[in-house]
Protein backbone atom coordinates (compact mmCIF):
# COMPACT_ATOMS: atom_id res chain seq x y z
CA UNK A 1 0.00 0.00 0.00
CA UNK A 2 1.39 3.39 -1.01
CA UNK A 3 0.69 6.55 0.98
CA UNK A 4 -1.12 9.42 -0.71
CA UNK A 5 0.86 12.16 -2.44
CA UNK A 6 2.17 14.72 0.02
CA UNK A 7 1.21 12.52 2.97
CA UNK A 8 3.27 14.69 5.29
CA UNK A 9 0.65 17.42 4.81
CA UNK A 10 -2.30 15.13 5.62
CA UNK A 11 -3.25 17.26 8.62
CA UNK A 12 -4.69 19.75 6.09
CA UNK A 13 -7.24 17.22 4.78
CA UNK A 14 -10.77 17.70 6.09
CA UNK A 15 -11.27 13.98 6.58
CA UNK A 16 -8.14 13.70 8.75
CA UNK A 17 -9.19 16.69 10.85
CA UNK A 18 -12.67 15.26 11.33
CA UNK A 19 -11.27 11.83 12.21
CA UNK A 20 -9.14 13.41 14.92
CA UNK A 21 -12.21 15.23 16.24
CA UNK A 22 -14.16 11.95 16.38
CA UNK A 23 -11.26 10.31 18.24
CA UNK A 24 -11.17 13.19 20.73
CA UNK A 25 -14.91 12.76 21.34
CA UNK A 26 -14.21 9.09 22.07
CA UNK A 27 -11.61 10.02 24.66
CA UNK A 28 -13.96 12.65 26.07
CA UNK A 29 -16.58 9.97 26.54
CA UNK A 30 -14.18 8.04 28.76
CA UNK A 31 -13.17 11.02 30.88
CA UNK A 32 -15.93 13.62 30.77
CA UNK A 33 -19.16 11.73 30.14
CA UNK A 34 -19.33 10.28 33.67
CA UNK A 35 -19.20 13.84 35.08
CA UNK A 36 -21.95 15.04 32.72
CA UNK A 37 -24.08 11.92 32.88
CA UNK A 38 -26.93 13.67 34.69
CA UNK A 39 -27.09 16.54 32.17
CA UNK A 40 -26.19 14.70 28.96
CA UNK A 41 -28.36 11.77 27.91
CA UNK A 42 -26.52 8.86 26.25
CA UNK A 43 -28.59 9.35 23.09
CA UNK A 44 -27.14 12.86 22.65
CA UNK A 45 -23.57 11.58 22.59
CA UNK A 46 -24.50 8.67 20.31
CA UNK A 47 -26.33 11.02 17.94
CA UNK A 48 -23.41 13.43 17.82
CA UNK A 49 -20.93 10.62 17.18
CA UNK A 50 -23.12 9.14 14.43
CA UNK A 51 -23.57 12.53 12.77
CA UNK A 52 -19.81 13.07 12.80
CA UNK A 53 -19.31 9.64 11.23
CA UNK A 54 -21.72 10.49 8.42
CA UNK A 55 -20.06 13.88 7.99
CA UNK A 56 -16.71 12.09 7.70
CA UNK A 57 -18.12 10.08 4.80
CA UNK A 58 -19.26 13.26 3.03
CA UNK A 59 -16.05 15.16 3.74
CA UNK A 60 -13.99 12.30 2.35
CA UNK A 61 -15.71 12.81 -1.01
CA UNK A 62 -14.79 16.52 -1.24
CA UNK A 63 -11.98 17.24 -3.67
CA UNK A 64 -9.22 19.26 -2.07
CA UNK A 65 -6.53 20.94 -4.11
CA UNK A 66 -5.58 20.63 -7.78
CA UNK A 67 -5.36 17.34 -9.68
CA UNK A 68 -2.00 15.70 -9.15
CA UNK A 69 -2.45 13.23 -12.03
CA UNK A 70 -3.32 15.71 -14.78
CA UNK A 71 -0.55 16.60 -17.19
CA UNK A 72 -0.36 20.05 -18.77
Q: Tell me the pLDDT tens digit for each residue of 36-67.
A: 767 777 788 788 888 988 988 888 887 776 66
> What's the whole-number average pLDDT of the chain?
78
| 72: confidence class by pLDDT, cuts 50, 70, 90 | very low
The reply to whether the predicted model has a pTM over 0.95 is: no
Torsion from C-alpha of 46, 15, 8, 3, nearest 10 degrees: 100
Residue 1 is given by DSSP the state -
Amino acid sequence: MRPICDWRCCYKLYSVQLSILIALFGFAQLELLPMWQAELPPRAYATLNSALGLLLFVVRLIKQGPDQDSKS
